[in-house]
């Protein structure tokens, strides 16, 4: 698998490429299957349909890896929180986590059992995926998941989480620790079900100042990485802490690949982290609106990363109104221009 070879710094015939949120609303084929399922969460829970949409980007675009179709928030959902996805509003937890009773009510044991649909999705997707394509599993980072659990949904200020961080840091640590334990089991079970690599998404890393980020954010990512690597040293682990270009000097751990978001200049990430880590990224996702912008973005990133270990990706998820034709064009350009 060219994607896995690249994760492990082995030579590859070209730079492998996939896109965050590649199985999603810009694909009419995805919209069709989602409509059959009813809504987004029902689609995640239907392992046959979830595995079908997992494979769509490989079939339609020719990406080098499929990513499990699910969501980072199915873990708190299956620990016992009430989650719904509102149109135009994103995820909503109707009874946010604010106190000890709320935390005690969450069950790691329950989540391990209730998440069986994810493992079934993986088994079926891996069975139907070409042997030379990788299947990526994933989880959210404890900090990012906790922001949704505590705030009750998306947030601009993270004021409730941060009030907890400065007024009752021990309690925030207890929440993060419990979520981390659930995620360690979850990721290992994904590997046992058949994923070839895992990515940990820390989308809201940039909400925290440096010292707080390493104490409440990256520290918990590394607990997951350490535990996964101790049991599965051959499985590549990708971390994606979004928006922390100012903190790169302090990044370290046993992960293999560092996901560079689009706001971090790839030259900077290269200077600080390469070749210690393989870099993944980081084209600005809205470049997909124009073929000329795609050409410029691809050329610049490929020339910066020439000779250094690299996996191509967007610097965050693809947006729902991107033309499929442009997404195809992007994948093809990376694969042909990087051919050795």
CA separation, residue 274 to residues 9, 125, 262 (Å): 11, 32, 17
Tokens of residue 99, six digits? 């106190």
Decide if 21 is catalytic: yes
Q: Is 201 in the site for ligand CP3 (CB under 6 A)?
A: yes
Q: Is 138 in the site for ligand CP3 (CB under 6 A)?
A: yes
Decide if 34 is catalytic: yes
Can you tell me which of 5, 9, 40, 329 binds ligand CP3, judged by CB under 6 A?
Answer: 40
Decide if 126 is catalytic: no
Q: What is the CA radius of gyration of the chain?
A: 19
Q: Is 317 in the site for ligand CP3 (CB under 6 A)?
A: yes
N-terminal to C-terminal alpha carbon distance within the chain? 17
Q: Is 203 in the site for ligand CP3 (CB under 6 A)?
A: yes
Catalytic residue from among 5, 14, 21, 117: 21
Please give the helix or strand (H or E) that residue 228 lies within, else none.
helix 219-231
Binding segment toward ligand CP3, per CB under 6 A, in 16-24, 113-121, 176-184, 210-218: 16-24
- In the region spanning residues 154 to 173, those forming contacts with ligand CP3, defined by CB under 6 A, are 154
Q: Is 71 in the site for ligand CP3 (CB under 6 A)?
A: yes
Catalytic residue from among 30, 34, 220, 287: 34
Least Å distance between CB 154 and ligand CP3?
A: 6
Residue 284 is classified by DSSP as: -
Q: Which residue is nearest to ligand CP3 (CB)?
A: 203
Cβ-based neighbours of 326, under 8 Å, separated by 6 or more:
288, 289, 290, 291, 294
Reference 238, options 264, 265, 260, 271; nearest CA is 260
Cβ-based neighbours of 271, under 8 Å, separated by 6 or more:
none
Q: Is 126 in the site for ligand CP3 (CB under 6 A)?
A: no
Q: Which is nearer to ligand CP3, 186 or 274 (CB)?
A: 186
Decide if 39 is catalytic: no
Q: Is 264 in the site for ligand CP3 (CB under 6 A)?
A: no
Q: Strands 257-259 and 237-241: what pairing?
A: parallel
Q: Which is nearer to ligand CP3, 145 or 225 (CB)?
A: 145
Cα maximum dimension of the chain: 58
Q: Is 3 in the site for ligand CP3 (CB under 6 A)?
A: no
Least Å distance between CB 310 and ligand CP3?
A: 19
| Residue 5 C-beta-side C-alpha neighbours within 13 Å | 13
Reference 209, options 175, 252, 156, 166; nearest CA is 166
Q: Which is nearer to ligand CP3, 15 or 144 (CB)?
A: 144
CA 77: distance to chain centroid? Answer: 18
Least Å distance between CB 98 and ligand CP3?
A: 20
Least Å distance between CB 74 and ligand CP3?
A: 9
Angle between helices 169-193 and 116-128 (to 10 degrees): 40
Using CA atoms, how far apart are residues 48 and 56, in angstroms rounded to an integer?
Answer: 13
Any idea which residues carry the catalytic annotation? 21, 25, 34, 71, 148
Give contact residues for ligand CP3 (rule: CB under 6 A): 20-25, 34, 40, 67, 69, 71-73, 85, 90-91, 138, 140, 154, 201, 203, 317
């Amino acid at each position: 698998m060219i994607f896995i070879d690249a994760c492990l710094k082995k030579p590859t015939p070209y730079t492998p490429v996939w896109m965050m949120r590649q199985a999603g609303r810009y694909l009419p084929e995805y919209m069709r299957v989602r409509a059959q399922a009813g809504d987004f969460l029902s689609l995640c829970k239907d392992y046959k349909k979830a595995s079908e949409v997992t494979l769509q980007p490989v079939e339609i675009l020719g990406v080098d890896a499929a990513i499990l179709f699910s969501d980072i928030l199915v873990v708190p959902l299956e620990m016992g929180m009430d989650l719904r996805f509102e149109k135009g509003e994103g995820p909503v937890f109707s009874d946010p986590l604010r106190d000890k009773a709320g935390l005690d009510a969450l069950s790691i044991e329950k989540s391990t059992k209730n998440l069986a649909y994810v493992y079934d999705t993986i088994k079926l997707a891996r069975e139907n995926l070409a042997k030379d394509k990788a299947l990526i599993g994933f989880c959210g980072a404890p900090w990012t998941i906790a922001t949704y659990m505590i705030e009750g949904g998306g947030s601009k200020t993270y004021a409730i989480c941060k009030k907890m961080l400065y007024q009752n840091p021990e309690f925030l640590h207890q929440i993060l620790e419990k979520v981390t334990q659930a995620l360690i089991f979850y990721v290992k079970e994904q590997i046992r079900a058949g994923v070839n690599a895992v990515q940990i998404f820390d989308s809201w890393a940039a909400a925290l100042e440096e010292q707080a980020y390493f104490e409440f954010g990256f520290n918990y990512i590394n607990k997951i990485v350490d535990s996964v690597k101790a049991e599965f040293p051959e499985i590549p682990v990708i971390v994606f802490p979004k928006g922390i270009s100012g903190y790169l000097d302090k990044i370290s751990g046993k992960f293999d690949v560092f996901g560079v978001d689009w706001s971090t200049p790839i030259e900077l990430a290269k200077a600080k982290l390469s070749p210690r880590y393989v870099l993944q990224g980081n084209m600005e996702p809205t470049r997909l609106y124009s073929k000329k912008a795609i050409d410029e973005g691809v050329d610049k990133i490929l020339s910066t990363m020439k000779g250094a270990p690299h996996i191509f990706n967007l610097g965050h998820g693809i947006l729902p109104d991107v033309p499929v034709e442009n997404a195809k064009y992007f994948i093809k350009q990376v694969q042909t221009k990087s051919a050795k």
